[in-house]
Structure formats: C-alpha cells, structure tokens
C-alpha cells in the first residue's frame, strides 16, 4: 500500500522526505528552488519512479499536491528517481550524464 508520503507541495511551501530532499539538493542545478517546489518540471520523474499523486483543490489559488510510495519500495523508488533526474538534467545540459551519477 502506498502510504508513505514523500512530498507535500503547496504554493510557497514544500516538504520532502529526507532522502528525496538529498537527491534533489545534490542533482538540481538550482538547489535553492526546492523550498517552493519551483522544480515542477520534475513531476514526470517522480511519476515514472512510481509515486501515487493526490491533489486537493480548495480554491483556484490553494492547491495541495501529495506524493506517496509504498514504504517497502522506497529504495527502488529512490534509485529510479536519482537516475531519472540525472538523465533529465544531463539531457538539458547536453551531456551524457555519466559524470552526474550520484551514489
């Protein structure tokens, strides 16, 4: 059951699982962006890595996004996320991504 919340995002605020935050802060070219989830361009990476997404809309300006994984699959999810983000930024920079690998 996917009940381990790894991200909570709303306008001007975000919370991430510590392991996810570590991946984001090490691989994103604009590390300071993560306090406000300005890296929405990574949503595809999270989805392809296996999260379930729950959105809640209270008003047009008040949208909350939560991402969940199965706690038993966390290590697999983190490995996938790390790889997908690395590949995405490598392609944006026009590199092969080999030097961007993070263990």
pLDDT of residue 33: 56
The angle formed by the CA atoms of residues 100, 73 and 36, to the nearest 5 degrees, is: 55
pLDDT-derived band at 101 (thresholds 50, 70, 90) equals very low
Look at residue 1 and give its three-state secondary structure: coil
Could you tell me the sign of the dihedral formed by the alpha carbons of 18, 73, 49, 94, in that order? Answer: positive
Q: Measure the CA–CA gap between 47 and 79, rounded to whole angstroms.
A: 13
pLDDT of residue 100: 44
Lowest mean pLDDT across 27-31, 45-49, 55-59, 60-64? 27-31
**pTM greater than 0.85 (yes/no):** no
75 pLDDT above the threshold of 60: yes
In terms of pLDDT, which residue wins out, 38 or 70? 70
């Amino acid at each position: 059951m996917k009940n381990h919340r790894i991200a909570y995002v709303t306008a001007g605020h975000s919370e991430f699982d510590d392991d996810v935050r570590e991946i984001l802060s090490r691989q994103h070219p604009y590390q300071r962006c993560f306090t406000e989830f300005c890296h929405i361009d990574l949503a595809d990476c999270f989805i392809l890595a296996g999260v379930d997404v729950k959105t809640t809309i209270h008003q047009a300006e008040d949208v909350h996004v939560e991402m969940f994984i199965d706690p038993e699959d966390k290590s697999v999810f983190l490995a996938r996320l790390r790889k997908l983000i690395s590949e995405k930024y490598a392609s944006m920079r026009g590199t092969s991504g080999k030097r961007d690998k993070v263990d």
